[in-house]
Amino acid sequence: MSEFFAAMFGGLIVAGLQLGYQWWNTDRPKKRLEDRQKEMLRRMLTPKNMPPTQSGRRAEWRTFETLKHVIGANDEDTKRLLIEVGARGKNKTGHLWALESNKPLHRSTQDEDSDEVEYEPRHA
């Protein structure tokens, strides 16, 4: 009977070590990558880091495509990470994003979102 309990205890230890190893080798690197991606998003959406617009002022919104390409993520992950860092999409267009702390939602948000968008020159 004590051999049975020793085997059970040993099995639990091995299972725990396997789960810890799995977390260390798979989940941890993914979390570190996402932490770096979120930091990049925060920096890109900070007003002092916004690029100039065609009018010469700083942009107030970044395009989704720019954000996605800079962090190297797909659409779904980029949207999730943007929401996790406290960003929101622009009301009229879903492809523009800003930190909610800089562009808070208002009751009548349809007309209150500024149109200052990052300048993206078109390449021939």
Number of residues that this document lists for the chain: 124
Report the CATH number that the domain containing residue 85 is assigned in CATH: 1.10.10
Q: Would you say residue 64 lies in a domain?
A: yes
Would 49 be classed as within a structural domain?
A: yes
Closest CA to 48 of 96, 102, 119: 102
Instruction: State what percent of residues in the chain have pLDDT above 90.
Output: 48
pTM comes to 0.68
For the chain, how many structural domains are there in total? 1
Q: Is residue 61 part of a domain?
A: yes
Q: Give the whole-angstrom CA distance, residue 50 versus residue 68.
A: 16
Domain span at 58: 35-99
Specify the pLDDT at position 56: 87
* Span of 16-20, 63-67, 73-77 with lowest mean pLDDT: 16-20
What percentage of the chain reaches a pLDDT higher than 70?
82
